[in-house]
Amino acid sequence: MQIFYTDVLCIGAGLAGERVAVEAAMAGFSTICLSIVPPRRSHSSAAQGGMQAALGNAIMGDGDSPDVHFQDTVKGSDWGCDQEVARIFADTAPIVMREVAHWGVPWNRVEAGVHTYYKGGKPFEAEEKREKHGLIHARAFGGTAKWRTCYTADGTGRSVLNTLDSKCLQYGVTIHDRTQAEALIHDGEKCMGCIARCLRTGELRAYFATATLVATGGYGRCYSATTNAVICDGGGQICALDTGVVPMGNMEAVQFHPTGTVPTDILVTEGCRGDGGTLLDVNEYRFMPDYEPEKAELASRDVVSRRMTEHMRKGLGVKSPYGDHLWLDIRHLGVHHITHKLREVYDICMNFLGVNPIEQLIPVRPTQHYSMGGIRTNRDGAAYGLKGLYSAGEAACWDMHGFNRLGGNSLAETVVAGRYVGKQIVKYLRGNLVSFSMNAMNDARLKLEERIEDIVTGRKGKESALKLRDEMHSVMMDYVGIFRNGQDLQKAVDKLAELHERADGIALQTSPRGFNPEMSTALRIKGMIKLSQCTAYGALMRTESRGAHTREDYPERNDKDWLKRTLAYWQEGEHLPTLVYEDASPFYEIPPGERGYGGGRIIPNELPKERFEIPQEATENLKKAKSKGEEY
Amino acid sequence: MNLSTITLHVPEQSKIAGRLDFVMMVSGALLILFLWAHLLLVSSVVLSPVIMNALAHFFEATYMAQVGGPAIFVVMLIHFILAARKMPFEQGQWKAFVAHSRMMRHKDTTLWLVQVVSAIIILVLASAHVFTVLSDLPITAAKSAARIQNGSWLPIYLVLLPMAEMHVGIGFYRIGIKYGLISSARRAWYQRAEVIMMAGFITIGLITLARFKWLSI
Amino acid sequence: MNRKLHIKIFRYNPLDPDSTPHMQSFHINEYDSMTLFIALNQIRDEMDPSLKFDFCCRAGICGSCGMVINGRPGLACHTQTRDLPAEITLHPLPVFKLLGDLSVDTGTWFRDAGTKIEAWVHGNDAAFDPAAEEVRMENALAEEIFELDRCIECGCCIAACGTARMREDFLGAASIVRIARFAMDPRDLRSDDDYYDVIGNDQGVFGCMGLLGCQDVCPKHIPLQDQLGIMRRMLVLNSVKGILPRAVINSLKHKGCCHEKH
């Protein structure tokens, strides 16, 4: 078996992984990125909308500041986020946007003068200031007080990813694409790298690393209707969960995007609504203002998705062979706007739906989109439980999103967390030497080899991996969707436990020679079932409604009992995760309160006064985060 | 800069690749102009052999034929050598390209094969033509007609004429494309123009040949 | 009118000594709005779990699923079966190394090309000041740069290029246009001479024969033809600088399509 040694190992080479890699490589450390696909194909590339950062250049973002951004984020999270982290994020986001601009991202810029924009289908005029001409522009997104989302047309993910990947090339980051991490190498205290499978040859390889980062994105593929790419199967989370000592945070917090298209589930950006698109029902009636008079289509995603589902349940959805859906209307934005600023949307509609959005309505429905939960890390991105293990981006529960993330905040998180966590990793590397243990590596390897042998020989059963996957999909879709209740969730938990047991007996139906795609699924499916179990079980136990987690049987947000984060551990040999809870935030810069949209009752919590004070240490750390980074 | 090739010397900034490309383009453009002019001059026989003889006399009296003829031949050779650098002379390359053009069924790709084949035919036939004409000066309508009526030149011209006109027409379009003078928006227009031009010149050529065929010597 | 589709797929597993290259036929029923992504997954799920192909975003944004569809390179995920005849032939992209069946190694190819042309903005990274306002840029220029940054490296332009088919070392439209992207970016401090160094040769812009296969298959409709023309003219004129009179060079620079360093 080939063994690689490196200072930093990034599992995943999307925006978060590459941003960390660039930070480490610029500091002079050897860095290897593992990726299932070539880095530029990472799912980050599909992010269309933009990145939120309070630059306040656009006239509609006038007066914006990190404080307002922070408030929006905390409200959006329904007070489920870690406020120290959200603060670091909001305060450093503008720096990171400027930094990637310095590296080559062609952000759209402010053009002085009057321009027309649409809100709720009606045209308005705004005049950009002359003194802001040429600075980074912003567009409107849901759940925000100001126009704050920096963008490059509707290919923001693509352009930032291209730029970061080019920096990886420049600074000599080694990329091992078509490589899939299968298990972490650890001794119960330290993480020392991972065992990975080469997707060209099917061979196993070992990677020893002083610091290991998991940045593999979300686990949307546990659902069948998801906007996520086919590689978003939670591979990194599975590796971490399998160690038994690293917990997943808030796995029940799953976001459904209001505008997944029907039937292909491809996302059309929130920018459509931000730029003035409206949602219509079967009678082509604009219904959102009835539910949300103030924000209408631009309330936060959890609220819009819920209202859409509610409206369809009233029988006002459009019937189709693929199930009910609603309409997204962007026709009034005009040919130029649609074919320029919303060009990907135009292409998607034309190529995948056969719909021309300039003249026709786009069929949409809420679709699984984002995992707020993931590997629980501390403020510095270090995973709970194992030293030397880090996580960033969607894979992590750094937890600036709490129970609902705002559009444009996740894409920004990838690079903002990437920069911040990257600096922490550099600091860790400068202060730590690790002795790599061959025994630990061998343990991980033997376990994996045995598992592969089980699958190849079929000695433990004859289950089909694809069939198990389909069953898992239907459980998640039917019982762990937008609206949840105790009965359904219990069914999901039971059914998933059964699938978990059956997953041990997976056997290959085809020849194992060389790389075999069936083997990839076979190796993954058990872990995906485990992640689904964490989601379903966490959702069952959380007897309140918060953000995207909506319990019909517990409709109120219960701050008294549930101002907490779920941590799911998986002890070896168990059939269910072990859940423990921690405080949602170390301190509350903004005390829990009303979001201002979404409605719903709140059961308040009497927090002691000292919980509202910001510790000195946190303030100092924030100051360092905003500096050039020499202090670290 | 390739660090493995500069170990034994300090490299100069070489611009040779660009200059060769430039020469290839300029030589091609010259040949295009020459060929069009040549055809128009020769076709004057259609109006009257007297005009053609007068024009021929003018070019000889000014020594343009004696000097210009061989010069054009040299330009053609240079153009061929430069362009041949791209030609698939290796069997593997040829096979790959033919397979590629079969797979693509793509007009511009197929046209390039036409360029390659016509180039070789033109090289051989045009050399013979230039040698014959220049070794038997002066040029007169009667002599040209005799070559066509008595010798075996008619079939040769019937091959050379369309080959040369196609090569020149495609080459004209290709220069425009390669140097960004034809924008993608105007491409279809130029493609049509190129076909019309080729057809026009071939027709003029055929009429001229017919005139020679039936010209009484 | 749901047809029965006959899909013929190139099969070969280079790592299996018993495998030989051959075409295999699959028959499936066509549905409304069926794409090749749906069709191929259906074949893999229901008929042959060992079938290798690459999909990722399945929305035409990542560039994974380039393949030769009835003779033309294109993205399988955004090809709708209703636009194809009932008999569909699928081959892996040529030029790239075959990994198995329809899967080829575009990642390594593009990384190598990127290294050769030094595909990054050559600026001064150390000069970045987190406290300073960003350097201003015209929005029109940003849009022009993004227009070329939309490349998804799917490899279709390379597979459709006659030159690349004949010569392994040809950098292809994607790489040359990548340089065009840097050439118009004021943050890239390289000069025309520097660009000449990386693509001013027969492996680069002078190797292009203007066949325009690239332009005609590019799934993102990036203006490859115009950019190749601009780069060729820019570098040819660079090579004859000092030979041709400056006035001639200047007037040629501004003919047809052109862009300038802002």
Q: Which residues pair with A209 in a beta bridge?
A: A6
Q: Quick check: A267 and C59 CB within 8 A? A: yes
CA angle B38, B42, B43 (to 5 degrees): 115
Is there a contact between B180 and C256 if contact means CB atoms under 8 Å apart?
yes
Burial of A162 (0-12, 13-18, 19+ CB in 10 A): buried
A162 contacts on C by Cβ (under 8 Å)? 149, 151
**Gap from A111 CA to chain C (nearest CA, Å):** 7
Q: Which long-range contacts (CB under 8 A, 24 or more apart) does A291-298 make?
A: A292/A597, A292/A598, A294/A596, A294/A597, A295/A142, A295/A143, A295/A597, A296/A120, A297/A120, A297/A142, A297/A273, A298/A140, A298/A141, A298/A142, A298/A143, A298/A273, A298/A274
Contacts of C80 by beta carbon, 8 Å cutoff, 6+ apart: A351, A352, A354, C33, C34, C35
Q: Which residues of C touch A38 (CB under 8 A)?
A: 106-107, 110-111, 153
- At A377 the pLDDT is 97
pLDDT at residue B2, as a whole number: 63
What does the pLDDT read at residue A424? 96
Exposed, middle or buried: residue B121 (CB in 10 Å: 0-12, 13-18, 19+)? middle
**Which residue in the block uniquely carries the two structure tokens 């189709």?**
A320
Identify the band that residue A597 occupies on the pLDDT scale cut at 50, 70 and 90: confident
pLDDT at A293 over 50: yes
Residues 111-140 of B with CB under 8 A from C: 112
**pLDDT surpassing 50 at residue C123:** yes
Q: Give the pLDDT confidence score for residue C261 in this predicted structure.
A: 46
Max mean pLDDT range (A195-199, A303-307, B34-38)? A195-199
Q: Which residues of A touch C185 (CB under 8 A)?
A: 104, 106
Predicted pLDDT at B179: 92
Say if A and B touch: at least 3 Cβ pairs within 8 Å: no
Residue C53 CA, chain-centre distance (Å), reads 18
- The pLDDT of A607-626, averaged and rounded, is 92
φ and ψ at residue A5, rounded to 5 degrees? -120, 135
The tokens for A60 are 């509609």
Chains that touch A (3 or more CB pairs under 8 A): C
Q: What is the mean pLDDT of residues C212-234?
A: 94
Is A48 a residue whose pLDDT tops 90?
Answer: no
Q: What is the pLDDT of residues A495-541, one digit of tens each?
A: 999 999 999 999 988 777 778 888 999 999 999 999 999 999 999 99
B188 touching C (Cβ < 8 Å): no
Q: How many CB atoms lie within 10 A of CB C163?
A: 24
Q: Does B146 lie at the interface with C, CB-CB under 8 angstroms?
A: no
- Residue range A61-108, pLDDT digits in tens: 999 999 999 999 999 999 999 999 999 999 999 999 999 999 999 999
Question: In angstroms, rounded to a whole number, what is the distance separating the alpha carbons of residues A117 and A114?
Answer: 10
User: Is the predicted pLDDT of residue B1 greater than 60, yes or no?
Assistant: no
The answer on pLDDT for B30 being more than 80 is yes
Name C238's Cβ contacts closer than 8 Å, sequence gap at least 6: B15, B18, C192, C193, C196, C200
Q: What integer pLDDT is reported at residue B8 of this predicted model?
A: 72
| Active-site amino acid positions of A | 257, 273
CB spacing of C139 vs A517 below 8 angstroms: no
Q: Residue B206: what pLDDT?
A: 92
- Complex ipTM over 0.90: yes
Mean of the per-residue pLDDT values of chain A = 93
Check CB contact of A352 with chain C, cutoff 8 Å: yes
Residue A398, pLDDT above cutoff 80: yes
Helix residue ranges per DSSP H, C156-259: 156-159, 162-166, 172-183, 192-199, 213-217, 224-239, 246-253
CA–CA min distance C125, chain A (Å): 7
Q: Which of C224, C200, C233, C254 is nearest to C148 (CA)?
A: C224
Residue ranges of domains in chain B, CATH in brackets: 17-213 (1.20.1300.10)
Each residue's pLDDT tens digit, A442-492: 999 999 999 999 999 999 999 999 999 999 999 999 999 999 999 999 999
Q: Which of A406, A322, A421, A341 is nearest to A369 (CA)?
A: A406
Average pLDDT value over all residues in chain B = 89
- Is B190 touching C (CB cutoff 8 A)? no
Residue C232: closest CA among chain B residues belongs to which residue?
A: B179
Confidence of residue C250 (pLDDT cuts 50, 70, 90): confident
Task: Please check whether residue A170 touches C, CB under 8 A.
Answer: yes
Residues forming beta bridges with residue C26, ordered by sequence position = C7
pLDDT surpassing 80 at residue C255? no
Does residue C262 surpass a pLDDT of 50? no
pLDDT band at A54 (very low <50, low <70, confident <90, very high): very high
Give the minimum alpha-carbon distance from B185 to chain C in angstroms, rounded to a whole number: 9
The pLDDT tens digits of the residues spanning A416-448 come to 999 999 999 999 999 888 889 999 999 999 999
- Tell me, what's the pLDDT at A50? 93
> In A, which residues are within 8 Å of C115 by CB distance?
169
pLDDT at C259: 59
State phi, psi for A147 to the nearest 5 degrees.
Answer: -70, 115
Q: Is it the case that chain B and chain C have 3 or more CB pairs lying under 8 Å apart? A: yes
The per-residue pLDDT for B149 is 85
The string of pLDDT tens digits covering residues A300-355 is: 888 899 999 999 989 999 988 778 899 999 999 989 889 888 888 898 898 888 88
- Residue B23's CB is within 10 A of a number of other CB atoms, namely 15
Q: Which pLDDT tens digit goes with each residue over C147-197?
A: 999 999 999 999 999 999 999 999 999 999 999 999 999 999 999 999 999
Binning pLDDT at 50, 70 and 90, where does residue A37 land? very high
Of B96, B183, B184, the CB nearest to C166: B96
